[in-house]
Amino acid sequence: MSTINTQRLDRELKKGGAELLVLSLLEARQRHGYEIRKLIEVRSDGVLKFNATSMYPLLYRLEKRGWIEGKWVEKAGQRRRRYYKLTKDGKQVLAAQRTIWQSFVAAFNRVTGLEHA
Amino acid sequence: MPDWKPEIRKRLAGLRLAPVREAAIVEELANDLDDCYAESLSGGATEAEAYQQTLAELSSHELLALELRRVERQVAPESIVLGANRRTNMIADLWQDLRFSARMLMKNPGFTLIAVLTLALGIGANTAIFSVIHALILRPPRMADAGRVVAIWRTPKDKRNEGRVSYLELQDWRTQHQGFAAIAAYKPFNMILLYQDQAEVVPGLRVTANFLSLLQVKLWRGRDFQFDEEKRGAPDVAIISHQFWQSRLGGNEAALGQPLMLNGRPFTIIGVLPPDFEFPPAAQSTELLATIAGEGGNLNERGAQVLKIIGRLKPGVAFTQAQSELTSIAANQEQRYPQNNRNATAYLVPVSEQIVGRDLRRALWLLLGAVGFLLLIACTNVANLLLVRATARQKELALRVALGANTRRIARQLLTESCLLSLLSGSVGLLLAVWGLSAIRYFGAEQLPRLDEVQINGRVLAFTLGVAALTALLSSLLPVFKASRPDLNEVLKTGAKTATGGGSLRMWRGALVVAEVALGLVLLIGAGLMMRSFGLLVNVPPGFDPTNVLTGEIGMTSAAFEKHDHRVRYINQTLDRLKALPGAESAAFVAPMPFSGHNVGSDFRIEGRPKPEPGTEPGASNRSVTAQYFQAIKIPLRKGRYFTEQDQHTGGAGAGVAIINEALARSYFSNEDPIGKFISNIGANQNDGDPERWEIVGVVGDVYHSSLTRAARPEIYLPYQQNSWVWGNFFVRTKQDAAALTKSFTDAVRAGDKTVPITKVRLLTEAISNTVAQTRFYTLLFALFGMTGLLLTLTGIYSVISYTVAQSTQEIGIRMALGAQAGDVLKLVVGQGMLLTTTGIALGLLAAMALTRLMKNLLFGLTPTDPLTFGAIALLLVAISLLACWIPARRAMKVDPMEALRVE
């Protein structure tokens, strides 16, 4: 891994982290934006929270890159909603990012000694 | 279920998305918010609470748009790979910053317009003055290798005045110097050209033979002067300008070798100057060059100090080296010829300073200082505007920081914004400068040398760019510093008084007002001193009455005028014609006329007194006037009598009569009555057959002769009938508008003799006013910049105070609810404002006292710390500050306490 300075690291963590979260949640099945937001909040026990203002621009960005794909779905008796699913590219990116993050977290833990504390 | 769509649309308004895309985003977000709302309700919230919680999802007003903008518009996707090289993103960021800044500026057209105009005024004024300084002072004059060309002044040791040199002195320098490649002399000399029976005055120079070779001028046609041709009695030869050759002689090659009638003598044309020839130190165009051989007897007289000197330093010889060489030659001269060189020395001056004098240089630098202050005031104004805006945006910025935005990134964004603003202002300022320069060229054409060279060129553009950059930095430093370090907790707490920005911002704003008032005061005091000085100058009574007097200059050069009687007859006949002009009250002839630009002086002797030490002989200016001169120009008689028609030429036998002025009486007859005393040996313009001695018959009042700043000097008037000159001025005094008589005046003079040209026909008031034209010119500029500064200061104080009042509405409301009266509020608001202003005034007065010393040499009749000017300007600023505080204070008095308390 090439070196990065701490300020960039800080930024990458926030941004890359958010992307990884969204991509991961879409791996299993397609979901709509609110569902993704709630899932992140619930699964992180409220530590991570996205508001609408941040979530949708993030989704649009990922969609624009071709990693996820949105589709309006109408179900009987409900208003139509936009669901997102992972694309082939998205799956590759997710796999790559997982590896990077895992090695990153592992490296982080090795340095900080958190794992063996 | 509330309808979220309008709220969402409001936030997307600035993005200008395609309608279909916008609808999709709105729908998707609305769905999300519906879910949010429903969940809040099911969690036990009231409808109002649920509404608030849901709306909070949209965060601040601009954030959604900002986030979406990145996605929806940005073309290049951002790399997300950890540790990747992000340099391309810096450029993308910059581009984004620029576009965002442009949008922010467009969003507030009022703010942008005011800021741009304010800064443009400052930048434009700086650019205009700098381009004048660049052309007049910084750029070398248009002469070959001008850096090595110097002027040499003969000057009193304790002064630094331009003094002329005699030919014999020049010869001393020429033979004794080591450090100069050459030393040459010139004398501006207008010659009367008689061509095809028409007489006209042609501007020219009498020069030494090496003049053109010193200037490294290559002749277009013919040959240069030879050394022998500058000697007394040499044949008359002339070199003509290319323009003269083309326009009068049709560019004819055969003109070389032909004679030209100049001052009544045939001059052989030996050469033509190149088309681009110019000699800036002469301060006029040069159409003819003749040699100094024409000076005749002056060439043999050490006291005939009539030549101006230029030299070219040898390569490798330093200025100081040449100066010390000259100093020692001058010391030697003083020792050998004390009567001509007592207390005199030689002074080396760069030729550029000879062209643009020290006073003008100083005035221009001071003007640059003045516009510098103007720019600082403009910067303070805009800094304040930016600060106010930054305060309003504080919450947005704080949110961005809270969401992980880099504070440096935000500072960069703000800086980009003010850079864009300055660039915009710079462009508008450049436009203003171009306009300003055409105005300067129009009004200053007569008063400033080298003005035709003034232009906006690469260096001026670089200067403007530099000033704009400085402006950006100065006006945004404080706002950027404050805004990029928001106190997150403070700002984000709902209900916090974000708008006034808390104590620290208020303090900074106060500091800006103090600075602004101080700067404005210094600028205004500078302008005030110049204006008051100019007022004193133009109100100096010249010693005569110049109103409704029309004058014109003549020269008699044809052979017929060599006789005294002929000259007198011509003058008298012409005067008769002038007196007969309709509306003419009186007419007279005088040589030289006050404010004509000419003066002649000489030593004289007072009979019955011991011979004075060499160098201490009494000296006086010489005048030759017709009998009615004093009555016509209204110079009062102090003692004795005026001249009369009976003061006739004595034909060499007996004494003539003379009238002296009070200055001469004071200097040389302080203890005795000058009337009846005899003076003799009055050097200049004595003709054969003129009286040898002159009896003083009258004393008249002093007059200013060449400038209103130079005190009257001793003068001796002789009657024209007894001492006739071949040049001088006719003038006529009329009952009404003298200018209306211009044509008939000119015709009446011409009617007498076609070979006598009449030039410079103008009102005497105009001639006087021309001598202060340069001063008037820069005084006007000072006044203009002062007024602009005043206006900016006024608006600056007003905007800060009114903004503070608007933000303190709640505080004022509480005070009034607690029983404060309108008067108390007035006192509070005005008191706050005036505290700042008086602090500014105090600081400004101190600064002005230090700075106005630089103006000392430009001021006439008052000291640089003139208490009247200082007091008046300080009072003026107090008054306008009161006004600027009073208007917002009145608004504050009308605050309805209930209304005010509801606001937040």
DSSP string, B149-191: EEEEEEEETT------B-HHHHHHHHHH-SSEEEEEEEEE--E
Looking at the structure, tell me whether residues B403 and B426 fall in a common domain.
yes
Cα–Cα distance measured from residue B834 to residue B284, given in angstroms and rounded to the nearest whole number:
54
Helix (H) and strand (E) counts in chain B? 28, 24
**Residue B487 is inside which H or E element, if any?**
none
In a domain, B801, yes or no: no
Burial-class residue B16 by CB neighbours within 10 Å (0-12, 13-18, 19+).
exposed
Q: Are B718 and B544 in contact (CB under 8 A)?
A: no
Distance from the Cα of B83 to chain A's closest Cα (Å) equals: 5
DSSP B136: I
Flag if B82 and A53 touch (Cβ within 8 Å): no
The CA distance from B509 to A85, in Å, is: 53
Compare CB distances from B404 to A14, A53, A56 and report the shortest one's residue: A14
Same domain, B245 and B336: yes
Interface touch A53/B59, C-beta < 8 Å? yes
The verdict on A88 touching B (C-beta cutoff 8 Å) is no
Backbone angles phi, psi at A86, to 5 degrees: -75, 135
Residue B500: the pLDDT is 46
Residues of B with CB under 8 A from a CB of A: 24-25, 27-29, 31-33, 35-36, 56-59, 63-64, 67-68, 70-72, 77, 80-84, 86, 403-404, 406
Structural domain total, chain B: 4
User: A71 forms bridges with which residues in the sheet?
Assistant: A83
Q: How is residue B631 written in tokens?
A: 């009555």
Asked if B384 and B469 sit in the same domain, the reply is yes
Residue B394 sits in the same domain as residue B458: yes
Quick one: pLDDT at residue B697? 95
What's the start-to-end Cα distance of chain A, in Å? Answer: 25
- Residue B301 makes CB contacts below 8 A (sequence gap 6+) with B166, B168
Structure tokens at B592: 């030289």
Report which DSSP code applies to B453.
G
Tokens of B440: 């300067």
Residue B890 placed within a domain: no
Using one digit for the tens of pLDDT, what is the confidence trace for B209-243?
Answer: 999 999 999 999 999 999 999 998 889 999 999 99
Parent domain of B725: 559-752
Closest-CA residue of chain A to B400 = A54
- Cβ atoms of residues B703 and B632 within 8 Å: no
Which residue stretches of B57-108 are H helix? 63-73, 87-107
Cβ pair A62, A47 in contact under 8 A:
no
Domain boundary among B752, B782, B797: B752
In Å, how far is A35's CA from the nearest CA of chain B?
9
Partners of A61 on chain B (C-beta within 8 Å) are: 70-71, 77
Q: What are the residue ranges in chain B where pLDDT is below 70?
A: 60-61, 73-90, 395-396, 398-406, 482-504, 614-615, 650-652, 683-685, 898-904
Distance CA B172, CA B783 (A): 49
d(CA B771, CA B91) in angstroms, rounded, equals: 59
Residue after which a domain boundary falls, among B453, B476, B494:
B494
**Residue A1: pLDDT band with limits 50, 70, 90:** very low
Instruction: Please indicate, yes or no, if residue B231 is contained in any of the structural domains.
Output: yes
What is the model's pLDDT at position B82? Answer: 41
Residues B262 and B364 in one domain: no
Contacts of B73 in chain A (CB under 8 A): none
* Nearby residues of B753 by Cβ (< 8 Å), 6 or more positions away: B556, B558, B560, B570
Among B197, B196, B172, smallest CA distance to B185 is for B172
| Residue B257 and residue B399 in one domain | no
Question: Which is it for strands B344-350 and B308-313: parallel, antiparallel or unpaired?
Answer: unpaired
Confidence (pLDDT) at A3: 43
Q: Give the separation between CA B744 and CA B749, rounded to whole angstroms.
A: 9
Pair B166, B276 in one domain: yes
Q: Which residue of B has its CA nearest to A36?
A: B32
Residue A116 C-alpha, separation from nearest chain B C-alpha, in angstroms: 26
CA-nearest of B555, B544, B580, B547 to B745 is: B580
- B80 and A51 within 8 Å at the Cβ level: the answer is no
Would you say the C-alpha torsion B123, B125, B128, B130 has a positive or negative sign?
negative
B131 plus B173 within the same structural domain: no
Pairing of strands B693-700, B656-661: parallel
Residues B126 and B245 in one domain: no
pLDDT at B280: 83
- Domain presence at residue B770: no
Looking at the fold, whether B274 and B244 belong to one and the same domain comes out as yes
Asked if B552 and B565 count as a contact pair (C-beta separation under 8 A), the reply is no
A14 touches chain B (CB under 8 A): yes
Q: What is the pLDDT of residue B120?
A: 92
Is B268 found in the same domain as B177?
yes
Instruction: Give me the domains of chain A, ranges plus CATH numbers.
Output: 30-109 (1.10.10.10)
Can you give the pLDDT at residue B651? 66
| Residue B714 identity | P
Q: In degrees rounded to 5, what are phi and psi of residue B221?
A: -140, 155
Omega of the bond leading into B592 within 30 degrees of 0 (cis): yes
Strands B656-661 and B605-606: unpaired
pLDDT number for residue B76: 38
**Nearest CA to A9 among B77, B87, B81?**
B81
Q: pTM for this structure?
A: 0.70
- Is B77 a domain residue? no
Residue B195 counted as domain residue: yes
pLDDT at position B844? 94
| B730 in any annotated domain | yes
Is B513 a member of any domain?
no
CA neighbor of B797 nearest in space, from B877, B677, B678: B877
B168 and B192 fall within a common domain: yes
CB contact under 8 A, A60 and B33: no
Q: Of B288, B319, B342, which one is at a domain's C-terminal end?
A: B342
